[in-house]
Structure 1
Amino acid sequence: MGSRVVTEKPVQGFDGLWNISFGFFGIQIGFALQNANMSRIFQTLGGSLDDLSYLWVAAPLTGLLIQPIIGHYSDRTWTRFGRRRPYFFAGAVLAALALFVMPEARVLWLAAVTLWVLDASINVAMEPFRAFVGDMLRKDQHTAGYALQTMFIGVGAVVGSIFPFVLGHLGVSGDALSGVPDTVRYSFWFGGAALLLAVLWTIGNTKEYSPDQMAAFADRDEVAMQPVRALATRSFGRSLAWIAAGVAVIVAVPELALQKEVYLLGALLVAYGAASIAAIRLARGNNPDNALSAIVGDFAGMPLVMKRLALAQFFSWSALFIMWIFTTPVVAQYMYGSSDPTSAAYNAGGDWVGVLFAVYNAVAAVAALLILPRLAARIGRVKTHIACLLCGAAGFASFLVVRDPMLLILSEIGVGIAWASILAMPYAILASSLPQAKLGIYMGLFNVFIVIPQLLVATVMGSVLKAFFPTEPIWTMAFAAIVLGIAALAMLRVPETKDGVS
């Protein structure tokens, strides 16, 4: 085999960095509108509180399935429109349509189906953006690229979250007696337009590198079929172990009186075991180059740095989901003196939580732009991430002693710094450590370690709370602080990178 001349990608200026990630701003507006308002829409259409967890399961489950598939195919897509950009466009169009249709739903089942379409479409548009940054930037620009993307995530989250509130103060009706309030309806329409226009901006102002250029940029041997060949040599033992673990979880639900949502976790374990058996059989057959074998093979053969980052990611997102689920009852009970969801004090606490969440997203946007790149250049990406995670752990721990709602703004500053780093540093480290040809699939598989914590927290944490401190939700914040500290410890095993070189 002849040697290949290795070239380097050109340095992107600020305009280039902006254009590469601007589409994420629109995507995050749509995502924030979904997160902040879907429960309200479901309840307006007759959904009960008990139904909400089942209706919301669409988000993590859709991401778990869609992102690895889109990552796999976007790695292998080469058209005159680009490699990742066709997926941006398709996902953005479908997500915008879903955002326009959602507030017009008049029955619960239609809203639920539209949520699935919306979440699937957002995932189709969102997943390739992570790989797109790695495709377009030199390794020494990965930190800046993912930091700017995180800034767009923070700003988009703030805009999407507060837009119904702003419309209400501008005189738009928030009356839900005749259906979805106008404040929510107009916000979804705005979000759909913003999402589509932002993604079109990125599509129209970027040009992806050709396959030949990407091959010239590569600085390591990248054998696409290697994980599939390794998979073909595996026995079915591990697959059967996954199935057995899933069956054990399913059996334990009634025996231990766990929440019914835990059945989903067991079903996912069984499904993965069955999928891996099928993937091994296909890898041994006449058509080894198939999507299932490639995805399972890549998951089973993740690079060491990705496995170590995945552990830190698992604990980081466990803490985040605890925060998103339990902050409102904690603030309402301990800062506003009410645990009754129908009381004025409880709802005042809920309103303040909305402000606190806007604060940490705003802090994340500022930290990503002004702090992370400079700190990473000085002490390295891994140490930067550790420091930021510890700031978040301190923020969560402060909930145990703070009783003045205003002082919680200081707590959220720590959380916002951690949030900025969680959205930027792991991806910058990954993009600099993985084969360019497989950035899409590995970024999609990395999402598994975001989804699994969500499912565990949504299911197991409720049982833990009920069993050990049913009337003291404040201890969930202590648990969040501990697991974020564990995430920081896990990062000690991740090798440092310098200028993107492991």
Structure 2
Amino acid sequence: MEKRKLGFWEIWNMSFGFLGIQFGFALQGGFMSRIFQTLGAEKDAIPLLWIAAPLTGLIVQPIIGYLSDNTWHPTLGRRKPYFLIGAILSSIALFFVPHSPILWIAVGFLWILDASINISMEPFRALVADKLPESQRSNGFVIQTLIIGIGTWIASNLPWLVNKLGVSNEALAGEVPMSVKVAFAIGAFVFLTSILFTIFTTKEYPPENLEAFKKEKKEAAFFKDLFLSLKEMPATMLKLGIIQFFSWFAFFTMWSMATPALTEHVYIAPSPIEKNYNMEDAVQKSEYAAANLKYQDASNLVGSAMGVYGLSSMAFALLLTFYTAKYSIDRRLIHFGSLILGGIGFIYMFYATPSTLFISFVLIGLSWGSILSMPYAMLSSAVNPKKMGMMMGLFNMFIVIPQIVAAIGGINILYKLMGEATINAMILAGISLIIAGLCNFLITDKNAISG
């Protein structure tokens, strides 16, 4: 079917739901480790507590991709039913996670939250390929990245902002501050409303032959299609998978370990361990409260600093939006350069001060903007369009497997080869991202490279 070219605002509307999705991811990535530490988790246990996220993605994403490929609702269409279900579940989980009274409940909510976000997110990737002609796909994924950057910056600054507006950042031992609870509630509202905006403003193309589609749907079998898709996986997808492995190992390391690493190394405000204080003694109780407030304030500043990578990725995407609207680009070269700069940003954290930490996140944002657009643009030019949802879901195996490897010990084992200091986890992330950048030269498919 000949697809018409869409205007900027049509692409913007169909991608706007990513604002809410990124609110969910940014709040999760910036503040879940803070919640875990507040509820008593030790630093080395944090990556394993995060394992719910990649495990959920490994299971959910191919299933949702397959189901959305084989769905057609006369009112909602193909992808939008999954946007809606995921948005409702994600909003509920976002609201309740900071109210978790104990650690295992917070871990459970992370599991629910990540599964729900994945239900919404994966069909959004497929929607770009569904709606846009080949010549506009780079532009479509870049506009998604622009919206993701806006969401990352705003959501990362929410706890700091609501604290500045008068909401308390103090809390009793083992309790999450009210500033974080209010921020997550705002995130829940934005998630649902932004998804609804896309649902109401975007129409999907129906199958070219509805009767044939219904027949194929009846004959479809998930495991049969899964194994067939794995067998048909193009070489370009496998090569992109290697790049994704090292890229997402780096970012999972940041999301899980940046708060303990940077509060300790840059802000000199580590999370106090309650059992090291005699809470029956008034002096020690007061010392714990002061140390905890210092940690909570430093965590807000880490979150705000992380928000800079959202601004940087937004600027990167804005520049590419204007350029790709008129000209083709070398996707491989852009991705290579962006990942190398992000790796340098991670390594610079070792030398950063509170006033210069933003430099790291500016560079990391360039790599993040590229990670969210260039691999998907390259992939969409290399796979069967009828299986776009399934292939996008399978592609995310290369996102979740490195996170699982990182969570079950990869981070702790590798960063401790450089020393016990938690900041070494950020150096590890930098090395991983530089390796990812160099792996771009494995890509040789001209259709994938140019777009």
Deviation of 1:160 after TM superposition, in Å, equals 1.8
C-alpha distance 320-108 of structure 1, shift in aligned 2 (>3 A): closer
Give the corresponding residue for 2:24. Answer: 30
Give the corresponding residue for 1:495. Answer: 444
Give the corresponding residue for 1:140. Answer: 135
Matched, 1:158 2:153: yes
C-alpha distance 373-97 of structure 1, shift in aligned 2 (>3 A): same
Which has the larger displacement, 76-85 or 371-380? 371-380
Give the corresponding residue for 1:265. Answer: none
Structure-to-structure mapping, 1:283-294, within 5 angstroms: 289-294=220-225
Deviation of 1:195 after TM superposition, in Å, equals 0.9
Matched, 1:392 2:342: yes
Q: Secondary structure at the match of 2:381?
A: helix
Give the corresponding residue for 2:113. Answer: 118
Matched, 1:183 2:132: no
Match 1:469 to one of 414, 418, 423? 418
Deviation of 1:492 after TM superposition, in Å, equals 1.2
Match 1:91 to one of 79, 86, 90? 86
Deviation of 1:379 after TM superposition, in Å, equals 4.2
Which has the larger displacement, 440-449 or 39-48? 39-48
Give the corresponding residue for 2:359. Answer: 410
Deviation of 1:328 after TM superposition, in Å, equals 4.6
C-alpha distance 16-307 of structure 1, shift in aligned 2 (>3 A): same
C-alpha distance 61-501 of structure 1, shift in aligned 2 (>3 A): same
> 2:73 & 2:94 partners in 1: Cα distance?
28
Give the corresponding residue for 2:238. Answer: 307
Give the corresponding residue for 2:190. Answer: 194
Which has the larger displacement, 13-22 or 172-181? 172-181
> 1:22 & 1:213 partners in 2: Cα distance?
29
Give the corresponding residue for 2:166. Answer: 171
C-alpha distance 494-407 of structure 1, shift in aligned 2 (>3 A): same
Give the corresponding residue for 2:282. Answer: none
Q: Which has the larger radius of gyration?
A: 1
Give the corresponding residue for 1:424. Answer: 373
Deviation of 1:472 after TM superposition, in Å, equals 4.7
Which has the larger displacement, 172-181 or 189-198? 172-181
Tell me if the contact between 2:62 and 2:394 (Cα under 8 Å) persists in the aligned partners: yes
Tell me if the contact between 1:23 and 1:202 (Cα under 8 Å) persists in the aligned partners: yes
> 1:76 & 1:110 partners in 2: Cα distance?
35
State the one-letter code of the partner of 1:381: R
C-alpha distance 404-35 of structure 1, shift in aligned 2 (>3 A): closer
Match 1:297 to one of 225, 228, 232? 228
Cα deviation, 1:205-243, whole Å, max 9, x if unaligned, reads 111001017999xxxxxxx89xxxxxxxxxxxxxxxxxx
C-alpha distance 349-126 of structure 1, shift in aligned 2 (>3 A): same
Which has the larger displacement, 24-33 or 141-150? 24-33
Tell me if the contact between 1:100 and 1:192 (Cα under 8 Å) persists in the aligned partners: yes
Tell me if the contact between 1:364 and 1:417 (Cα under 8 Å) persists in the aligned partners: yes
Structure-to-structure mapping, 1:22-421, within 5 angstroms: 22-42=16-36, 52-80=46-74, 81-106=76-101, 108-177=103-172, 179-212=175-208, 289-328=220-259, 331=262, 335-336=266-267, 338=268, 341-342=271-272, 350-371=299-320, 374=323, 377=327, 379-399=329-349, 402-421=351-370
State the one-letter code of the partner of 1:436: P
C-alpha distance 326-96 of structure 1, shift in aligned 2 (>3 A): closer
Give the corresponding residue for 1:247. Answer: none
Cα deviation, 1:393-448, whole Å, max 9, x if unaligned, reads 33234345x34443333332221111100110000111122111111111111111
**Count of aligned pairs:** 425
Cα deviation, 1:52-103, whole Å, max 9, x if unaligned, reads 5454321111111100110011111112120101111111112222233434
> 1:214 & 1:47 partners in 2: Cα distance?
53
Give the corresponding residue for 1:18. Answer: 12
Which has the larger displacement, 101-110 or 186-195? 101-110
> 1:389 & 1:214 partners in 2: Cα distance?
43
Deviation of 1:50 after TM superposition, in Å, equals 6.8
C-alpha distance 309-373 of structure 1, shift in aligned 2 (>3 A): farther
C-alpha distance 500-432 of structure 1, shift in aligned 2 (>3 A): farther
Cα deviation, 1:34-56, whole Å, max 9, x if unaligned, reads 33333444555566667654543
Identity over aligned pairs, percent: 42
> 2:349 & 2:181 partners in 1: Cα distance?
35
> 1:214 & 1:439 partners in 2: Cα distance?
18
Give the corresponding residue for 2:275. Answer: none
> 1:334 & 1:43 partners in 2: Cα distance?
16
Q: Secondary structure at the match of 1:315?
A: helix
Deviation of 1:380 after TM superposition, in Å, equals 1.4
> 2:236 & 2:137 partners in 1: Cα distance?
16
Give the corresponding residue for 1:230. Answer: none
Deviation of 1:162 after TM superposition, in Å, equals 1.5
Cα deviation, 1:232-276, whole Å, max 9, x if unaligned, reads xxxxxxxxxxxxxxxxxxxxxxxxxxxxxxxxxxxxxxxxxxxxx
> 1:162 & 1:450 partners in 2: Cα distance?
26
Which has the larger displacement, 153-162 or 352-361? 352-361
RMSD: 3.2
> 2:25 & 2:210 partners in 1: Cα distance?
31
Tell me if the contact between 1:69 and 1:295 (Cα under 8 Å) persists in the aligned partners: no
TM-score (normalised: structure 1): 0.76
Deviation of 1:186 after TM superposition, in Å, equals 2.4
Of the two structures, which has the highest relative contact order with CA contacts closer than 8 Å and spacing of 6 or more? Answer: 2
State the one-letter code of the partner of 2:181: R
TM-score (normalised: structure 2): 0.83
Tell me if the contact between 1:71 and 1:441 (Cα under 8 Å) persists in the aligned partners: yes
State the one-letter code of the partner of 2:199: I
Deviation of 1:124 after TM superposition, in Å, equals 0.6
> 1:469 & 1:483 partners in 2: Cα distance?
14
State the one-letter code of the partner of 1:153: I
> 2:262 & 2:390 partners in 1: Cα distance?
39
C-alpha distance 393-372 of structure 1, shift in aligned 2 (>3 A): farther
Matched, 1:485 2:416: no
State the one-letter code of the partner of 2:179: T
Deviation of 1:480 after TM superposition, in Å, equals 3.2
> 1:331 & 1:186 partners in 2: Cα distance?
24
